[in-house]
A and B are shown apart, each in its own frame.
Chain A
Amino acid sequence: MKFGVIQFPGSCDERDALSAVSRVGDGVLLWHRDHDLQDVDAVIVPGGFSYGDYLRAGALARFSPLMEEVERFARHGGLVLGICNGFQVLCEAGLLPGALLPNTSLRFVCRQVDLEIVSVGSKWTSACEPGDILSIPAKHQTGRYWAPDPVLDELDANGQVVLRYARGENFNGSARDIAGVSNAAGNVVGLMPHPEHAVDALTGSADGLRLFESAALIAA
Protein backbone atom coordinates (compact mmCIF):
# COMPACT_ATOMS: atom_id res chain seq x y z
CA MET A 1 0.00 0.00 0.00
CA LYS A 2 1.57 3.24 -1.15
CA PHE A 3 0.18 6.53 0.09
CA GLY A 4 1.06 9.87 -1.49
CA VAL A 5 0.91 13.01 0.64
CA ILE A 6 0.69 16.31 -1.24
CA GLN A 7 2.80 19.26 -0.21
CA PHE A 8 1.53 22.74 -1.11
CA PRO A 9 3.23 25.99 -0.15
CA GLY A 10 1.81 26.50 3.33
CA SER A 11 1.07 22.85 4.12
CA CYS A 12 2.19 22.00 7.64
CA ASP A 13 0.91 18.50 8.44
CA GLU A 14 2.42 16.54 5.57
CA ARG A 15 5.20 15.10 7.76
CA ASP A 16 2.77 13.78 10.36
CA ALA A 17 0.65 12.32 7.58
CA LEU A 18 3.70 10.52 6.17
CA SER A 19 4.59 9.25 9.62
CA ALA A 20 1.02 8.05 10.16
CA VAL A 21 0.77 6.13 6.89
CA SER A 22 4.19 4.55 7.47
CA ARG A 23 2.50 2.52 10.22
CA VAL A 24 0.23 0.78 7.71
CA GLY A 25 2.18 1.05 4.47
CA ASP A 26 4.61 3.23 2.54
CA GLY A 27 4.38 6.96 2.05
CA VAL A 28 5.84 9.38 -0.49
CA LEU A 29 5.70 13.15 -0.58
CA LEU A 30 4.11 14.59 -3.74
CA TRP A 31 5.01 18.13 -4.81
CA HIS A 32 2.03 20.23 -5.88
CA ARG A 33 3.74 21.53 -9.04
CA ASP A 34 4.27 18.04 -10.43
CA HIS A 35 1.89 16.17 -12.69
CA ASP A 36 2.89 12.75 -11.41
CA LEU A 37 1.05 10.80 -8.72
CA GLN A 38 3.93 8.26 -8.70
CA ASP A 39 1.55 5.28 -8.93
CA VAL A 40 0.27 5.70 -5.39
CA ASP A 41 -2.74 3.70 -4.18
CA ALA A 42 -4.12 6.58 -2.13
CA VAL A 43 -3.67 10.34 -1.94
CA ILE A 44 -3.77 12.43 1.22
CA VAL A 45 -4.38 16.18 0.95
CA PRO A 46 -2.93 17.32 4.27
CA GLY A 47 -3.69 20.09 6.72
CA GLY A 48 -2.09 23.49 6.90
CA PHE A 49 -2.63 26.80 5.21
CA SER A 50 -2.08 26.21 1.51
CA TYR A 51 -1.40 29.49 -0.30
CA GLY A 52 -1.81 31.29 3.00
CA ASP A 53 -5.58 30.68 2.92
CA TYR A 54 -5.68 33.68 0.58
CA LEU A 55 -9.13 34.52 -0.81
CA ARG A 56 -10.77 31.53 0.94
CA ALA A 57 -9.28 28.51 2.66
CA GLY A 58 -8.50 25.94 -0.04
CA ALA A 59 -9.54 28.17 -2.93
CA LEU A 60 -6.14 28.51 -4.60
CA ALA A 61 -4.62 25.09 -3.91
CA ARG A 62 -7.24 23.43 -6.10
CA PHE A 63 -5.53 25.02 -9.13
CA SER A 64 -2.18 23.38 -8.42
CA PRO A 65 -1.09 21.18 -11.35
CA LEU A 66 -1.11 18.05 -9.19
CA MET A 67 -4.75 18.65 -8.24
CA GLU A 68 -5.73 17.98 -11.87
CA GLU A 69 -4.22 14.52 -11.45
CA VAL A 70 -5.94 14.07 -8.09
CA GLU A 71 -9.31 14.96 -9.64
CA ARG A 72 -8.78 12.40 -12.40
CA PHE A 73 -7.59 9.80 -9.86
CA ALA A 74 -10.63 10.45 -7.64
CA ARG A 75 -13.09 10.25 -10.50
CA HIS A 76 -11.66 6.83 -11.41
CA GLY A 77 -12.25 5.54 -7.89
CA GLY A 78 -8.83 6.30 -6.39
CA LEU A 79 -8.69 6.69 -2.61
CA VAL A 80 -8.40 10.32 -1.52
CA LEU A 81 -8.45 11.70 2.03
CA GLY A 82 -8.58 15.43 2.74
CA ILE A 83 -7.68 16.46 6.27
CA CYS A 84 -8.56 19.95 7.56
CA ASN A 85 -7.18 22.29 4.87
CA GLY A 86 -7.23 19.25 2.59
CA PHE A 87 -10.98 18.91 3.24
CA GLN A 88 -11.40 22.58 2.31
CA VAL A 89 -9.41 22.03 -0.89
CA LEU A 90 -11.53 19.00 -1.89
CA CYS A 91 -14.75 20.97 -1.30
CA GLU A 92 -13.45 23.90 -3.36
CA ALA A 93 -12.44 21.47 -6.10
CA GLY A 94 -15.95 20.04 -6.18
CA LEU A 95 -14.78 16.55 -5.23
CA LEU A 96 -16.81 16.73 -2.03
CA PRO A 97 -20.15 18.45 -1.39
CA GLY A 98 -20.53 21.51 0.82
CA ALA A 99 -18.19 24.20 2.12
CA LEU A 100 -16.23 25.06 5.24
CA LEU A 101 -17.04 28.43 6.82
CA PRO A 102 -15.41 30.30 9.71
CA ASN A 103 -16.11 28.79 13.14
CA THR A 104 -19.10 30.48 14.78
CA SER A 105 -16.73 31.61 17.56
CA LEU A 106 -14.42 33.21 14.94
CA ARG A 107 -11.59 31.71 16.99
CA PHE A 108 -8.86 29.27 16.11
CA VAL A 109 -9.63 26.27 18.29
CA CYS A 110 -7.17 23.47 19.11
CA ARG A 111 -8.56 20.62 21.19
CA GLN A 112 -9.11 16.88 21.38
CA VAL A 113 -12.61 15.96 20.13
CA ASP A 114 -14.70 12.80 20.24
CA LEU A 115 -16.01 11.78 16.84
CA GLU A 116 -18.69 9.22 16.13
CA ILE A 117 -18.35 6.95 13.13
CA VAL A 118 -21.60 7.28 11.19
CA SER A 119 -20.98 5.53 7.90
CA VAL A 120 -18.65 2.60 7.31
CA GLY A 121 -19.51 2.58 3.61
CA SER A 122 -16.60 4.88 2.85
CA LYS A 123 -13.24 3.43 1.89
CA TRP A 124 -11.61 5.30 4.80
CA THR A 125 -13.92 3.96 7.54
CA SER A 126 -14.53 0.43 6.29
CA ALA A 127 -12.57 -1.08 9.20
CA CYS A 128 -14.73 0.77 11.76
CA GLU A 129 -18.17 0.05 13.20
CA PRO A 130 -21.03 2.56 13.20
CA GLY A 131 -21.16 4.24 16.60
CA ASP A 132 -17.43 3.80 17.30
CA ILE A 133 -16.02 6.86 19.06
CA LEU A 134 -12.62 8.16 17.96
CA SER A 135 -10.65 10.65 20.04
CA ILE A 136 -8.78 12.87 17.59
CA PRO A 137 -7.39 16.42 17.78
CA ALA A 138 -8.92 19.27 15.80
CA LYS A 139 -7.21 22.61 15.14
CA HIS A 140 -8.76 25.14 12.82
CA GLN A 141 -10.58 28.45 12.45
CA THR A 142 -12.54 27.63 9.29
CA GLY A 143 -14.23 24.30 10.00
CA ARG A 144 -17.96 24.98 10.12
CA TYR A 145 -19.36 22.49 7.63
CA TRP A 146 -22.25 23.88 5.63
CA ALA A 147 -24.39 22.69 2.74
CA PRO A 148 -27.96 23.53 1.72
CA ASP A 149 -30.59 21.49 3.57
CA PRO A 150 -31.56 19.35 0.54
CA VAL A 151 -27.89 18.41 0.13
CA LEU A 152 -27.61 17.54 3.83
CA ASP A 153 -30.72 15.35 3.51
CA GLU A 154 -29.16 13.61 0.55
CA LEU A 155 -25.88 13.04 2.39
CA ASP A 156 -27.78 11.51 5.31
CA ALA A 157 -29.87 9.32 3.01
CA ASN A 158 -26.85 8.13 1.00
CA GLY A 159 -24.64 7.36 3.99
CA GLN A 160 -22.19 10.09 2.99
CA VAL A 161 -21.97 11.54 6.48
CA VAL A 162 -18.88 9.65 7.57
CA LEU A 163 -18.19 11.21 10.97
CA ARG A 164 -20.08 13.46 13.37
CA TYR A 165 -18.90 15.35 16.40
CA ALA A 166 -20.12 13.42 19.43
CA ARG A 167 -22.76 15.06 21.62
CA GLY A 168 -21.47 18.38 22.97
CA GLU A 169 -18.31 18.28 20.83
CA ASN A 170 -19.43 20.41 17.86
CA PHE A 171 -17.31 23.44 18.73
CA ASN A 172 -17.31 25.05 15.28
CA GLY A 173 -21.05 25.15 14.54
CA SER A 174 -21.07 22.54 11.76
CA ALA A 175 -24.44 21.71 10.22
CA ARG A 176 -25.92 18.56 11.77
CA ASP A 177 -22.69 18.04 13.77
CA ILE A 178 -20.94 16.86 10.60
CA ALA A 179 -17.18 16.38 11.00
CA GLY A 180 -16.51 14.43 7.80
CA VAL A 181 -18.24 13.50 4.56
CA SER A 182 -17.59 11.32 1.53
CA ASN A 183 -18.48 11.53 -2.13
CA ALA A 184 -21.27 9.28 -3.39
CA ALA A 185 -18.84 6.48 -4.28
CA GLY A 186 -17.14 6.59 -0.86
CA ASN A 187 -13.58 6.75 -2.21
CA VAL A 188 -13.11 10.45 -1.41
CA VAL A 189 -13.42 11.50 2.22
CA GLY A 190 -12.76 14.81 3.95
CA LEU A 191 -12.76 15.64 7.64
CA MET A 192 -11.72 18.62 9.74
CA PRO A 193 -10.09 16.77 12.71
CA HIS A 194 -6.62 15.30 12.28
CA PRO A 195 -6.35 11.49 12.35
CA GLU A 196 -2.65 11.76 11.44
CA HIS A 197 -1.98 13.43 14.80
CA ALA A 198 -3.57 10.51 16.68
CA VAL A 199 -1.53 7.46 15.77
CA ASP A 200 0.32 6.72 19.01
CA ALA A 201 -0.98 6.32 22.57
CA LEU A 202 2.14 8.19 23.71
CA THR A 203 0.62 11.42 22.39
CA GLY A 204 -2.89 10.78 23.70
CA SER A 205 -4.67 8.53 21.22
CA ALA A 206 -4.04 6.07 18.42
CA ASP A 207 -7.64 6.21 17.17
CA GLY A 208 -6.70 8.06 13.98
CA LEU A 209 -4.97 4.94 12.68
CA ARG A 210 -8.38 3.38 12.03
CA LEU A 211 -8.83 5.51 8.92
CA PHE A 212 -5.45 4.63 7.46
CA GLU A 213 -5.96 0.95 8.32
CA SER A 214 -9.32 1.05 6.53
CA ALA A 215 -7.67 2.37 3.37
CA ALA A 216 -4.88 -0.23 3.61
CA LEU A 217 -7.44 -3.04 3.87
CA ILE A 218 -9.26 -1.80 0.77
CA ALA A 219 -6.06 -1.68 -1.24
CA ALA A 220 -4.83 -5.07 -0.02
Chain B
Amino acid sequence: MRARVLIRPKAGILDPQGQAVERALPALGFEGVRNVHIGRLVELDVEDPSQLPAMCEQLLANPLVEDYEVLG
Protein backbone atom coordinates (compact mmCIF):
# COMPACT_ATOMS: atom_id res chain seq x y z
CA MET B 1 0.00 0.00 0.00
CA ARG B 2 0.96 3.59 -0.48
CA ALA B 3 1.79 5.22 2.84
CA ARG B 4 2.61 8.73 3.86
CA VAL B 5 4.54 9.78 6.94
CA LEU B 6 4.56 13.34 8.18
CA ILE B 7 7.65 14.41 10.11
CA ARG B 8 7.72 17.70 11.99
CA PRO B 9 10.13 19.49 14.32
CA LYS B 10 9.07 18.98 17.92
CA ALA B 11 7.18 21.80 19.56
CA GLY B 12 9.48 24.09 21.49
CA ILE B 13 12.52 23.49 19.29
CA LEU B 14 13.51 26.57 17.34
CA ASP B 15 12.57 26.16 13.68
CA PRO B 16 14.53 28.79 11.73
CA GLN B 17 13.10 27.59 8.40
CA GLY B 18 9.58 28.23 9.62
CA GLN B 19 10.64 31.61 10.98
CA ALA B 20 12.22 32.61 7.66
CA VAL B 21 9.02 31.74 5.77
CA GLU B 22 6.92 33.54 8.38
CA ARG B 23 8.99 36.69 7.85
CA ALA B 24 8.82 36.39 4.06
CA LEU B 25 5.04 36.06 3.67
CA PRO B 26 4.15 39.60 4.78
CA ALA B 27 6.59 40.90 2.17
CA LEU B 28 4.24 39.37 -0.45
CA GLY B 29 1.21 40.95 1.15
CA PHE B 30 0.06 37.90 3.14
CA GLU B 31 -0.71 39.23 6.59
CA GLY B 32 -1.84 37.43 9.72
CA VAL B 33 0.41 34.37 9.39
CA ARG B 34 1.88 32.95 12.57
CA ASN B 35 3.57 29.82 13.92
CA VAL B 36 4.97 28.51 10.64
CA HIS B 37 6.75 25.17 11.04
CA ILE B 38 8.35 23.19 8.28
CA GLY B 39 8.65 19.43 8.26
CA ARG B 40 8.78 16.84 5.52
CA LEU B 41 6.53 14.27 3.97
CA VAL B 42 7.80 10.79 3.14
CA GLU B 43 5.74 8.76 0.65
CA LEU B 44 6.48 5.08 0.29
CA ASP B 45 4.96 1.82 -0.93
CA VAL B 46 5.04 -0.74 1.87
CA GLU B 47 3.88 -4.35 2.09
CA ASP B 48 3.50 -4.22 5.87
CA PRO B 49 2.30 -0.83 7.11
CA SER B 50 2.55 -2.02 10.73
CA GLN B 51 6.31 -1.55 10.32
CA LEU B 52 5.99 2.17 9.64
CA PRO B 53 6.35 3.34 13.26
CA ALA B 54 9.55 1.30 13.64
CA MET B 55 10.86 2.74 10.37
CA CYS B 56 10.19 6.21 11.74
CA GLU B 57 11.85 5.48 15.07
CA GLN B 58 14.95 4.00 13.49
CA LEU B 59 15.51 6.07 10.38
CA LEU B 60 12.82 8.29 8.85
CA ALA B 61 12.67 10.60 11.88
CA ASN B 62 15.02 11.48 14.68
CA PRO B 63 12.60 10.97 17.59
CA LEU B 64 14.70 13.18 19.85
CA VAL B 65 13.94 16.29 17.81
CA GLU B 66 11.10 15.31 15.46
CA ASP B 67 7.52 14.06 15.84
CA TYR B 68 6.11 11.70 13.22
CA GLU B 69 2.62 10.78 12.21
CA VAL B 70 1.65 7.93 9.90
CA LEU B 71 -1.05 9.35 7.64
CA GLY B 72 -2.02 5.97 6.15
Contact = CB atoms under 8 A, between A and B. Distances in A.
Interface of A: 55-56, 59, 63, 92, 98-99, 101-106, 144, 146-148, 173
B65 A101 contact: yes
A101 B3 CA distance: 27
A98 B64 contact: yes
B20 A101 contact: no
A146 B13 contact: yes
Interface size class of B (residues with CB under 8 A): 10 to 19
Given A55-B59, A59-B59, A104 B16 contact: yes
Contacts of A98: 64
Contacts of A146: 13, 65
Contacts of A102: 16-17
A146 B13 CA distance: 9
A92 B62 contact: yes
Given A55-B59, A59-B59, A105 B64 contact: no
Interface in B19-72: 20, 59-60, 62, 64-65
A105 B62 CA distance: 21
Contact of B14 (A92, A104, A147): A104
B44 to A, nearest CB: 13
